[in-house]
Amino acid sequence: MIRLDHARLITEGSELHRLVTQAGFRFERLRMRGIDNEPVFAINDPVLREQECCLVSPGAPTGDAAVSTLAQAVSDAIGARALPVVRFADGEYLFYMQSMKCNGLYQQAESLKAIRAAFPAHFEAMRRVAESGLLAPLVFPGNVRVGGRSWRRFWKKPKSDDQALRFLDIAAAEGLRLQPRNYAPFYAVYAYLSGPEFAHAVDGRTVGVINSDFRAEACRAWFERRGSRPRVVHVPISDRFVATGWARMRQALLAALDPTVDLWMVGAGIGALEVCEEVSRVTGRPAIDSGHIVNAMNDLEAKSNGPRLFTHAA
């Protein structure tokens, strides 16, 4: 666990500084039963290990506790009420910092003008998620560095990366504040969706998958390997520019939604924020930004550049 005396290394006056010094948030190494990150480390830059230590909220002393809290929230909402769950990481941070580098694995934005035009709707959707669901930004010591300082290795000069620090400030300026009731660690979502609690929760239910590449047999097999047999239905969405084009896509997609679905899994890149928020609100069902997990379900892990941290193997 990173103690609060390291808070002096956070930019004073930043939103992260407030979270750590006033709101009881802290950094802690996530430890989750049944998770082995070593295969991911074996094929990636060793610096990825820094991401095992993430921002956690008061009352979540271990990674398992964060997953259990998320599992309970989703279980209570399946088939019953709205619960948007949205993740934020590098691509989203670059998008909100108005950088065309957000076009990484996927085409997210046509231009800086399109990004700026999308901001009002994005921040409104973010506010709604904060009120009725869960925000899951990736915040770890490696992406809150300023001037090349690292929390754990502040005597060295690693590459500066303050993307999460800046994202939290941008969100706070829009009136968005993380709280224990609306926050989940980024990797808790992956761990939950790939684990036994989710498989059990959707067994016999109807799961809706909103994404661009769908393979029905692969999805059924993915669930069956986990001892789960939900009915899986698909609603297609574009693989390009959802982040800036949801307003022109929404009507057709909303009209195609199956009213019998108990829970939605969304793969829409940076656009997942608006899709999850509106689909959840309109249908009164959970809608989870599932990203890499949806790719894995469809046997398309290569679209995520390979395996990810904190995912259960099957």
Q: How far is CA 283 from CA 53, 193, 203, in A?
A: 35, 20, 20
Q: Which residue has the tokens 């939605």?
A: 264
Distance from C-alpha of 314 to C-alpha of 175, rounded to nearest angstrom: 41
pLDDT at 46: 77
Distance from C-alpha of 29 to C-alpha of 310, rounded to nearest angstrom: 12
AA identity, residue 298: N
Stretches in the chain below the pLDDT threshold 70: 1-10, 147-160
CA 69 from chain center: how many Å?
15
pLDDT at 6: 43
Find the DSSP H helices in the chain: 15-21, 38-42, 63-77, 90-96, 112-132, 163-173, 186-193, 196-202, 216-224, 242-255, 272-283, 292-297
On whether the CB atoms of residues 84 and 282 are closer than 8 A, the answer is no
> What is the bridge-based pairing of β-strands 206-211 and 231-236?
parallel
pLDDT at 149: 45
| Token reading at 293 | 């997990």
Query: Which residues lie across from 264 on neighbouring strands?
Result: 208, 287
Kindly report the three-state secondary structure assignment for every residue of 205-220.
CEEEEEECCCCHHHHH
pLDDT at 106: 84
AA identity, residue 163: Q
pLDDT at 12: 80
Contacts made by residues 212-215, CB under 8 angstroms, sequence distance 24+: 212/236, 212/237, 212/238, 212/239, 212/267, 213/239, 213/295, 213/298, 213/300, 213/303, 214/298, 215/298, 215/299, 215/300
pLDDT at 304: 76
Count of helices and strands (H, E) across the chain: 12, 8
Phi, psi (degrees; rounded to nearest 5) at 167:
-60, -45
Contacts made by residues 212-220, CB under 8 angstroms, sequence distance 24+: 212/236, 212/237, 212/238, 212/239, 212/267, 213/239, 213/295, 213/298, 213/300, 213/303, 214/298, 215/298, 215/299, 215/300, 218/297, 218/298, 218/299, 219/297, 219/298
Q: Which residue has the tokens 């005396």?
A: 5
On whether the CB atoms of residues 66 and 185 are closer than 8 A, the answer is yes
Give 264's contacts (C-beta < 8 A, 6+ positions apart). Answer: 207, 208, 209, 210, 276, 279, 280, 283, 285, 286, 287, 288
| Token reading at 146 | 């300023």
| Token reading at 217 | 């047999």
Angle at 181 between CA 175 and CA 187, to 5 degrees: 95
139-148 per-position pLDDT tens digit: 999 999 875 4
pLDDT at 157: 41
pLDDT at 160: 54
211-262 per-position pLDDT tens digit: 999 999 999 999 999 999 999 999 999 999 999 999 999 999 999 999 999 9
